[in-house]
Structure formats: structure tokens, C-alpha cells
Structure 1
Amino acid sequence: MDRRIQAPLVDSSSCLCRAERGVVVPGAGSHVPRSRLCVQSSITASIHPLNDKRPARGDRRRGQQWPLLPGLPDDLAIACLIRVPRADHWKLRLVCRRWFRLLAGNYFYALRGRLGLAEPWLYAFKCDGDGRVSWDVLDPTAAARGGGRAWRALPPVPGEYADATGFGCAVLGGCHLYLLGGRDPRRGALRRVVFYSARSNRWHRAPDMLRRRHCFGACVMGNRLYVAGGESGGGGLRSVEVFDPAKNRWAFVSSMAAALVPFVSAVHGGRWYVKGLGADRQVLSQVYTPETDAWSTVAALDGMVAGWRSPSASLDGRLYAADCKDGCRLRSYDEAADAWSGCANSRRHMGSSHALEAAAMVALRGKLCVVRNDMSVSVVDFAVGAENQRWQTLASKGQIKSFVTNLLSSVAGRGRAKNRVLHCQVLEA
């Protein structure tokens, strides 16, 4: 197995949101957390976070240990190692125990983030024709250079999500990817919450939600995770919960104005907009303001929700949405005019089949990525202005394969698509 995509371990007892540095307990094979917050890790406490209380066996008489890099003090060695590309970190972990401990702790990656060296990777969860959930990762830097395969398949997701539907997905702290809720074919709606740490390459358990729910909305505001609405076997839900990683617990906040099963949501202007189906299957729109902890109904004629389509994403304070099924045309919302207008056009229509339909939009280093069900990715840069917009393809099957996929999907029917992208998120490390 390629060590770059080696199987993440599952830790069912700890939460790295509260770990600055972990230690491995002999015989337990688990990560034991310390007390400092991961998302607020301090990198100024010590420039030597690897000093052991017990010296290595060969150095016990002298009471010292080997340096990270021979001939250099540890602070300079760390300054060199943090500049190694993320794709090669698995090699660094194999050099020696000290290097492994350095990359296993939050100090190393917190320092990369503080110096602007953290690299964002794209993670996509997809469902095949048999309902099996899997996930892949894309290195945008390597994909832009055209080196090797674009998407790399990752080992299986945790067992409770292998066949789940309607689960939520969100990112906290830039490096923790949460899977929560959903519906299991055998156990029904779930309260389960797990998260993957891009720093440790492991899955971990988090506190369960307070209510069982699936097909709900989820967002992150102020480094807190909110979930709202959805279903729980007995009909629609109005309840809303928030998870605070600093306290490592869930709590209820104000309920929605009406029960809602969201099909699209986005954070814009410091507020959370949710659009979905109500109890009578009518389309409803609501907005949540965290400062006042209050929900309000958005009028159906409101310019934003009237033209709002899925997928959508917020970039530099502006809300963008797809204007066609394959995401080759994009629109942006003008808050002053309270209207949507076209803002980007690749002038390259890829097709109208389900396989080529835009499934997700994410912001990536000031650019907007459009991810389609066939795992092709297009990137548009809005910083250069409307007249000089540049579209770039990070991952594609090629024109011939896209044409064949489009043709076969049209003949077989839209409901027989091979893959369907469920969620797409960006993690930094």
C-alpha cells in the first residue's frame, strides 16, 4: 500500500481537539491527549518540544539525545523540516522516532500554519451505485503540475458511515473533518460523530449529538459547529445544536421558526441561510443570527433565496452559485441590488448528464473550485477581474472520456450514475 495513503487509525476514546501533543502508551496502541487546544495551540512555549524525560538507550549515560539534523541546533532543524512539502511528510515519519514525534504533535503543523506554509488538500466523499461511501484526496499543487494521478483513493471510512446516507460534513480548525449524524440502513437515524485529523492521519470519536437526525444542515461559524433541522424517524425537526470544541460538548440553541429539511445552506455576512422543504413539502427559507441566537423567516420573494441554487460557496464576502448543471457558468449575489448576476463563464459546456453535474463548490486559496460527480475539478480565479478570468482544470477524465461518460449516462438514465459526490471539504496541514 502506498504509505502516502496508508490507512488512518481509529481512536474511539480521545478527542484531538483538546490535544497539543500525544504520547503512545505501550501495549495500548492509542493516542493519549494532553490538555491544550489543538485549534489554539501555542508555538511560542518552547522551540524544543521534543525533549524527552528519559534519554535514548545509547545516550542514558551522557543524559542527552541525538539532534534532529546532525550539526544543526533543533530550532534550525525544525525551520528546515517545516518547509518539506506535505506530500512527503509520510517519509519524514519513517526516519526516526524523534521525527515521528515531531510530526505527530500539533507544534509542527501549528508552526507551518503560522508561517503560511500549510498546504490545503481537497477531500471528497462519494457514494457509488451500491450505496457504499468512500473518500478521495486531491493535492491541488501536484494536480496543477500534472504529476501523477489527480485523485487518490483513501482507505475505508469508519464502519458506521460505510453505508450511511444523509450525514453531515464540516471542518473545524482547518484540519479536523467531522462526519456527523446520518441514517444507517439497520439502525436508522444516528447521533454518532467522528472526525479525521489531517495532522495525525487518524479518525477519532467526538461527543454524540443530542438528537438523532439525518438530511440536516450543518455549518461552522466562529469555530463552532452548528446543525439544524433534518429528520429523525418521527418527522421533521426544528431543533438546533451547536458543538464547541473548546468545551468538547453539544448544546441546544434557539429552534428554527418551522421544521425544515434543508437541501442547501451557506454562511454569508455572518449569518447562516438555510433553504429546504417544510412539513407540507413547501419550499422555506430561514436565516440564523448567532449574535442574537434567533431564527427568522426569509420571504419567498427575497432576491437572494429566490435565485439561490445548489451548490454554492462564499468567497471574499461574496456568495457564488452555479448557473448551469455542469458548473461552467457561475453567478454571484449582489447585496446592494438584492439580485444575482452572471460573473464567470468558461465557455465550455461539458454536458447535462448526472455524471457531469456540479456537485460541490469550495473556496481554495482565493479561488473557487467546482467539483462534479465524475470527480473532475475546475478552478476559476476571480482576483484577476471579469475580463481576464482564468479557468483551470485540476482533475479531468479528458474530453473523450467525458463524452463517453455523458453518452452512456444519458442512455442508461440519470438515476444510474456510477458515482455521486456527497461532500467536499478543504483541510490544511
Structure 2
Amino acid sequence: MGREEYRTNDMLSSKWRDMNLKVRKFNGIYSQKWQTRRSGQSDAMIELESEDQYREEFNAPFTLKRIHQIWQPLPPIPVEYSDALGFGCAVLNGCNLYLFGGKDPLRGTTSRTVFYNARTNRWRKAPDMHRKRHFPGSCVINNCLYVAGGECEGTHRALRSAEVYDPNRRRWSFISDMNSAMVPFIGVVYNGKWFLKGAGDHREVLSEAYTPETNTWMSITDGMIAGWRNPSICINGKLYSLDCGDGCKIRVYEEETNSWRRCMDSKVHLGSSPALEAAAVVNLNGKLCIIRNNMSISLVDVSTPIETNPHLWENISGKGHIKTLFTNLWSTLAGRNGQKTHIVHCQVLVA
């Protein structure tokens, strides 16, 4: 919660007012100790000293903790998604995490849509899509959710249809069909276009690009598609893709040569096991964030890709019970049981 929101929340109830007062007092102590920190003193040590001083000065316990770089639990996903497979995932308005479509054992392929609000910490229902689909491609352009292709149980065929959801109107609308039916397995927004690569009805590899301004699809066969691998992401106008299974190497696409080249290498290959496989890449505060199936992450400063940059490549590993907790959480999200994990979606929310 930002400090600018304290005054508004003070008016909600006496509990909010007391909590905000508590946080203000602690923040004042913490800020003073941080500015006068001793050499070699960690943030954790400063926090402990601040809590002790708070208890002494105000004769009250302090239970709010600052948590840095560890996974935190969220409310359970809706029960209808607990065993679902092939559902899509995207973020709108910065704080709303949408789940849509998918296939569950009871209802088969669905068109349902739900979303989690990071500010209220709750799941809510959203309007259903027009078409039932699982394993669709999806992206966000201008805060609108685009969904295309996938499969529908009963037809056993790939879909050509595509639709867009406007959160301001809370309405789904059809857009132009793709040129070919496709089950996408990779997609990215680059230069204002939505690129998709997937398998057709006969399992042939197909690639298309959608332009929102003209509502048109176009088949693509250039050098970008030929060397394009999953996962990939566009940051600051540049398209990046991982060049190794564990994410220890990164490639960038160059429009001038219509080809890919390796641009960064961590020099540390973590391994080839499924647990170390890079499952997703996201943009985290301008850095390329690599998330692996074992919940370890790497932050890469692609804005300054020089070896002298001390923060060029940072590896952060999951620890203790927090790692185990989120291993189980992601197993549920993936529709799997037991301890084996495979991350199917990863998104960044702004609370």
C-alpha cells in the first residue's frame, strides 16, 4: 500500500487507522536506522533492531514484516480451475490476473473467464468468451485481451476464430479469423503486432501475425520466425529469446539482418533437468526475469548488456518452506498432483 493511500484508508475504520499509525511509526524507526546503518549490516538486521525499538518505545508487539525476494502465497484459484488444463492467462489494468478457457474433466472445454484482483486479494467472475477453447494463444495490446486459436472438445480440430476482451466495457467481441486453424505454442507482441506460432490440423507448423489497427492476419515465414523459440519477450522494443534450456544464454532479434544473435551469456549452465528448465520470462521493472520450474529466478539487466555491469545477471533461488509452498501452489495451477511441478503461466501484477 502506497503512503499516499494512508489518508484515504484512515477513514475506512478504526482498525485501518490503527494499522496505518503502526506502520508509520515503524517506517520512521526503520528509515532512521537505515540511514545510519553500520558497515556490513544487512537489511534483516536493521529490521530486527527496528522491531525491538518499536516494542520498547510503544510497549506493543510488531507483527508486520518486510519480505524481500521470496515467494508469497495468494488465495487459492477457483475450484473450477483446480483440475483444468490448457487455460489462458493474462494481466489487465496492471493488477487483474485473468484465467480463461481451458478443459476440465467434468465440463470439458469451457469459455469461462475469472480474474484475481491484487488490490482486493480476491477472485471474481468475468464474462465468458464467445467460443469454448483450450490451449489458445493470448496477448495484451492497449490493455485489451486478445485470444485466438486453440482447440474445442467435440470437434477435435484446431480453431481459426479469435476474439478480444475490453475490461472497460466488460465485453468480448469477435475479431477477424486467422488464415489457418492453429493451436499456438508460442506468441509475442512485437512492433505493435501479435505474432503466433503453432500447430495446424495436420500438426504442421504455422505462423501468423495480427495487426490490431487493420484487424488483419498475415502469414509469416521470415528469419524471425525461423529462429524464434519459447520463451521469448519484448523489452524496450527489442525481442529476446532464451538460447539454452535453463536460460543461461539469451538471444536478440536484429531487424537489420533479419536474424537472431546471442547477446548475453551467464557463463554458468545450471543443468538440463526438467526442474531447471526455464518455463517463462517476464518484464520485471525493466529487467528480463527468467523463472524456472524449481521456482528459482534470474534477473538480467538487458538495458546495459556489458560485462562490467555488476547487476547484469543476478540469480535468486527459492528457499525453505516458501519454495515448497509455491511448488505445491503451482502444481495446483498446472492441474497436477504430487510434488512434480511444471509452471504453465507466470505474470507480473502491480498491487
TM-score range, shorter chain: 0.7 to 0.9
For 2:71 and 2:12, the matched residues in 1 are separated by 23
Query: Paired residue for 2:227, among 281, 289, 307?
Result: 307
Match of 2:345, SS state, is strand
Residue from 114, 117, 123 that aligns with 1:197: 117
TM superposition shift of 1:153: 3.1
Structure 1 294/80 Cα, relative in aligned 2: closer, same or farther at 3 Å? closer
- Work out which of the residue numbers 314, 320, 332 in structure 1 matches 2:252: 332
Q: Describe the shift of the 1:142–1:78 C-alpha distance in structure 2 as closer, same or farther (beyond 3 A).
A: closer
Match of 1:263 among 171, 185, 188: 185
Tell me which amino acid in the other structure corresponds to 1:79.
E
Give the whole-Å Cα distance in 2 for the aligned partners of 1:140 and 1:168: 32
- What SS does the aligned partner of 2:224 have? helix
Partner of 2:22: none
Greater relative contact order (Cα 8 A, min sep 6): structure 1 or 2? 1
TM-aligned CA distance change 1:325 to 1:216, over 3 Å:
same
- Judge conservation of contact 1:226–1:240 (CA < 8 Å) in 2: yes
Look up the SS of the partner of 1:156 in the other structure. coil
**2:201 paired with 1:282:** no
How many angstroms apart in 1 are the aligned matches of 2:97 and 2:267?
34
TM-score, length-normalised on structure 1?
0.62
CA 1:140–1:257 in 2, change beyond 3 Å: closer, same or farther? farther
Q: Which runs of 5+ in 1 are unaligned?
A: 5-76, 83-88, 101-138, 144-149, 402-415
Residues 277-319 of structure 1 show CA distances to partners (whole Å, capped at 9, x for unaligned) of 01110111000000000001012xx110111111111100111
Q: In the alignment, what sits opposite 2:330?
A: none
- The answer to whether structure 1 residue 79 and structure 2 residue 4 are counterparts is yes
Letter in 1 for 2:283: A
Aligned counterpart, 2:68? 142
Question: Structure 2 vs 1, CA of residues 330 and 383 (structure 1 numbering), >3 Å: closer, same or farther?
Answer: same
SS of alignment partner, residue 68 of structure 2: helix
1:96 maps onto 2:11 in alignment: no
Distance 1:92 1:424 in 2: 36
1:360 is aligned to 280
After superposing on structure 2, the runs of 4+ consecutive aligned residues of structure 1 that deviate more than 2 Å are: 77-82, 91-100, 152-155, 383-389, 394-398
TM-score by length of 2: 0.76
Aligned to 1:320: 240
Aligned twin of 2:49: none
Q: Deviations over 1:175-194 (max 9, x none)?
A: 11100000011211011000
| 1:393 Cα deviation after fit | 1.8
Could you tell me how far 1:80 is from its partner in structure 2? Answer: 7.4
1:136-175, aligned counterparts within 5 Å? 142-143=68-69, 150-175=70-95
Q: CA deviation at 1:156?
A: 1.8
Paired residues of 1:276 and 1:283 also in contact (CA < 8 A): yes
Once the two structures are superposed, residues 247-289 of structure 1 have per-residue CA deviations (whole angstroms, 9 ceiling, x without a partner) of: 1110100000000000000000000000000111011100000
Q: How does 1:7-406 map onto structure 2 within 5 Å?
A: 79=4, 81=6, 96=15, 142-143=68-69, 150-233=70-153, 234=155, 235-299=157-221, 302-389=222-309, 390-396=312-318
| Identical amino acids, percent of aligned pairs | 51
Query: How many matched pairs?
Result: 286
Q: 1:79: how far off?
A: 3.4
Give the unaligned 5+ runs of structure 2: 20-64, 324-337
CA–CA separation in structure 2 for the residues paired with 1:198 and 1:171: 11
Q: 2:162 & 2:168 partners in 1: Cα distance? A: 19
Counterparts of 1:215 and 1:140, CA distance in 2: 38
2:91 aligned partner, one-letter code: V
Distance 1:265 1:165 in 2: 18
Q: Structure 1 pair 368/93, CA: closer, same or farther in 2 (3 Å)?
A: farther
* Equivalent in the alignment of 2:350: 428
**Aligned AA (2:297):** V
Secondary structure of 1:212 counterpart: coil
